[in-house]
Structure 1
Amino acid sequence: MLAATAILMLDIAVVNTALPTLQADLDTDLHALKWVLDAYTLALASVVLTAGSLADRFGRRRLFLIGVIVFTLSSAAAAAAGSIEFLIAARAVQGLGAALMFAVSLALLSHAFRTPQERTTAFAAYGAAIGASFALGPFVGGLLTEALGWEWVFLINVPIGIAVLAITATKLVESSDPNPPKIDIPGQVTLVAGLFALVYGLLNAAEDGWGAGHVVAALAAAAGLLVAFVAIEATSRAPMVPLGMFRNRRFAGAQLAAMAISAGLFSTFIYIMIFLQQVKGYSPMEAGLVLVPGTMVNLFCAAATAKIATKVAPVVLISGGLGLAALGMVISALMISADMTWLELQLGFIVSMAGTGLFNPSVSAVALDVPERVAGLATGIHDTARQAGVAIGIAALGTLVSVTDIVGSLQDVMWAGAAIGGVGALASLYLFRPGTTGLVPVPQEA
């Protein structure tokens, strides 16, 4: 599970470092580069909920195997891309494979580790894998790009995928829901269309302005489709997202917090890499090395949550971690300049990554505090929140970016990311206030 999670998250992070080189080789622009990232995260976010339902019905191990195969083959296709259009298409297919894998990862861990203590340790390792992948990704991507070429940020997935396939086939135990829900096709269609329209509108607003006809039309369509999605889920006999689950404030708070840290912090990495390589003149590997100290802090903090979580309430680690991530971005926004040194960049990034290390294992544990028979569904909802946050965050923060003023743009991005993280931390405090229940109510039809 950790190996699979690592390559899923690395495929968001490693590509960041390779983007300037990829831009030159494929003769493209920043707008298309953002689609290289968002095609992956958008496909993942859009399908992971249905993937969770399919896994509950047909077997989580089976769906995981299919996902690994799709992900590995599409990684090879991405490496062979000769145009930006083909690469974006391959990344979208990668996202579909990733959705199948991601949708069942926590559910499979939950099935394998039964006691609260075992699960706390497993979730701590899972959170560390997520945080380390995001933080180590730029360095790994830079090393591969500089030494072997940008194609290898995708090719590296192939041998890892084969190893994951072998372990899955020989070690993982099958699990499923004995009474799985029906597949919610209307909900899936409106969710995919709504998220695509939203990201399309935001990405094009950065290029053409908010008043452009196609931007207004896309954002209006997004609003209508997402409202329709909620209406469908509220009235469906077998919704892909039982809205009753969100009556539990802890569960709702975990999803909101996951989306906030993804949109506020993780989506800034693409713009940090552009700043380091295009403004500071760092090579891909040098740019990745700048983020290594924060990586180590993240790993230490994530590992420490296994013990800390037994002594403090989850809200302390979730809201506190998100608050630290926001504080780190404030520090970065105040210090970023064209002549800043790599050491000056460390303070804000280390604070943010310390918060991330505390946050990830804790929010995952709360998100999976559900009956095992709907573990796949809960995992899907949680992963949708994370990946939708990254996709929407990249697109939304991109509206603040000007290619003629990268330094000022990065400052604005950091301020906006800090605001998102701060609001998420406060909302988590409110939703986790005393009196909330520990278990998510599960609708009868689920």
Structure 2
Amino acid sequence: MSDGIRPHTRVALLTLTCIGQFMVLLNNSITSAALPDMQRRLDTTLTGLQWIVNAYVLAVAMLLLAGGVFADRFGGKRVFLGGMAVFTLASLLCSLSATVGWLLAARILQGIGAAALSPASLALLASAYPVPQERIKAIGQWATFSGIGLAVGPAVGGILVEAFDWRAIFLINIPIGVLTLVVGARILPDRRNADAPPLDVPGQVLALLVVGTLTFGLTEAGDHGWTSPLILSCFGATVVLLALFLTVEARVAAPMLPLRLFKHRLFTVSNAAMTVVGFGLMGSGFFFTQFFATVQGHSVLRAAMETLPCTLAMVVSSPYAARIAARFGFRSVVTVGLVLAGTGLVTMAAVHANTPYANVWWRLAVTGVGFGLTMSPLTGAAISSVGPREGGLASGISSTTRQIGAVFGVAVLGAVVRTRQEHGASFGSGLNTAFLTAGVVTLVGGVFTALWLVRQQAPVDDAPETTRTAASQSTVSRS
């Protein structure tokens, strides 16, 4: 081959990158099964559980594009192995945490490792498979592992927690991570992109502060009150920081978020819809296991297994979404998907402690099918709205907006549950309101895409020669 990589080395490289992405997605969904056990053993509140989930997701969301830039500048091998080392060490620290505070710090570190690991794995695949058709096939396998990691997370988590406790969901990463580091150091090629753009440090810091401050306000509002000085200060600071972020991004030479991309309606609408997908999917998924374990009183393992219809339906429907969109257009498929997902979530608002599982699983399945139909077409819409040299950046931004939506979903729906409880409602009634809220937001998203999601536009090819290619197709992951 012209790139000098032997066929058996390619197979090993593909295997390692798939394992890395599998771990990233597994840790997105495996935590949900352990939340009831974490709450009991760590003696924490719903707010603490929200932060345990959001600490990881927030770190990934805010650093994903930066991870792609680092992979370009310093080489996919170094960033992949560095990310894996950080991820593995953080997993060990998570398992050793005795308090919620230490666990949150370790989860942030774990998210930093994942944010480097995910885009670097795609940078390695892109260089190892220079032939377009072979590259598409390799990325397809990589994406399949993403879906598997997402789907089996609750079941694996339930088994581990049932046999041991919540710490086991992090310990499982350690032997896999060590083996990947040893093999990866021997076989992964070390290549860099000399034309990679510099990292937009001011933009990166401001973006983190904007989302972090808003997330803090939304998450803590239930405990401190929506009109408390602390929460109002957070919301005010968010507005100021957002204005600073937009000012910086409009002036720097190589912004992490080129504002000119939002001139294209298709790009703007697809990313707004992707935020809704993250909000509804992750926000509601945060409570699925808790409903079965806390409201219906099932074991952790049984509760985790009972959430499978959603993730399995999503994994099964997702591969067909791009094909259907190619035939009927982005708008039709995304709108149908959001309406299905929203309908499933609205019907979840009617379940209660005595609802038999036979009358619950189909609601989860409808939700999963709906969300499975949205992600690939929305990513495709974002990519098709920009020039060919910025397709990687567009897909990276699409992935980031989904992660940000997930952070907000967990924060807002958690606040909804706590607010209902403060007014005398039970935890189960609070969950019903949260599911209803997620469903309504998702249905509104469906109306929004039906009205505003247009066909591919002919973008103005004003993109710079260099682009963040590695941050790129990390959106293929279904986190």
Q: Which amino acid aligns with 1:360?
A: M
Moved more, 369-378 or 247-256: 369-378
- CA distance in 2 between counterparts of 1:109 and 1:251 reads 26
Distance in structure 2 (CA, Å) of the matches to 1:261 and 1:362: 12
Give the drift of 1:128.
4.5
Partner of 1:235: 251
Change beyond 3 A, Cα 1:54–1:262: same
Partner of 1:194: 210
Identity, in percent, stands at: 33
More deviation in 207-216 or 265-274? 265-274
1:42 maps to 2:58: yes
**Structure 2 residue corresponding to 1:405, chosen from 422, 426, 430:** 426
Give the Cα separation in 1 of the matches to 2:196 and 2:119. 15
Which residue of the other structure, out of 262, 281, 286, is the alignment partner of 1:270? 286
- Give the CA RMSD over aligned residues: 2.8
Give 1:327 deviation, angstroms.
Answer: 2.0
Please state whether the residue corresponding to 2:417 is helix, strand or coil.
coil
Give the alignment partner of residue 181 of structure 1, picking from 187, 197, 209. Answer: 197
Q: Measure the CA separation in 2 of the matches of 1:327 and 1:279.
A: 22
Count of aligned positions: 445
Larger radius of gyration: 2
Distance (whole Å) between structure 2 residues aligned to residue 62 and residue 251 of structure 1 = 32
Instruction: State how far apart, in whole Å, the 1-side matches of 2:103 and 2:202 are.
Output: 29
For residues 288-367 of structure 1, the aligned pairs below 5 Å read 288-305=304-321, 307-308=323-324, 310-333=326-349, 335-367=350-382
Deviates more, 1:294-303 or 1:227-236: 294-303
Distance 1:106 1:218 in 2: 36
Measure how far apart 1:159 and its partner are: 2.5
Q: Secondary structure at the match of 2:92?
A: helix
Q: Deviations over 1:75-98 (max 9, x none)?
A: 111011111111111001111111
1:213 lines up with 2:229 in the alignment:
yes
CA distance in structure 2 between the partners assigned to 1:258 and 1:113 by the alignment: 29
TM-score (norm 2): 0.84
Measure, in 1, the Cα distance between the counterparts of 2:250 and 2:313.
42
Preserved CA contact (<8 Å) 1:17 1:270:
no
Cα distance in 2, alignment partners of residues 419 and 123 from structure 1: 34
Segment of structure 1 superposing worse, 161-170 or 62-71: 161-170
Change beyond 3 A, Cα 1:214–1:97: same
1:410-435 deviation per Cα after TM superposition (whole angstroms, max 9, x unaligned): 12111221222223334334554136
Of the structure 1 ranges 237-246 and 294-303, higher mean CA displacement relative to structure 2 is found in 294-303
1:260 aligns with 2:276: yes
1:257/1:125 CA distance change after superposition, 3 Å: farther
Q: What are the residue-to-residue correspondences of 1:55-66 with 2, within 5 Å?
A: 55-66=71-82
Aligned pair 1:102/2:118, yes or no? yes
Which moved further from structure 2: 369-378 or 324-333? 369-378
Q: Cα deviation per residue 1:252-296 (whole Å; 9 max; x = unaligned)?
A: 333223221111122212222222111111111100111223333
Q: Which runs of 5+ in 2 are unaligned?
A: 1-16, 468-479
Cα drift, residue 216 of structure 1: 0.6
- Equivalent AA in structure 2 for residue 337 of structure 1: H
Kept in 1, the 8 Å contact 2:325–2:332? The answer is no
Q: Who is 1:89 aligned against?
A: 105
The CA distance in 2 between the partners of 1:24 and 1:34, in whole Å, is: 14
Structure with more relative contact order (C-alpha pairs < 8 Å, separation 6 or more):
1
User: How far apart are the structure 2 equivalents of 1:238 and 1:27?
Assistant: 46
* Long gaps (5+) in structure 1: none
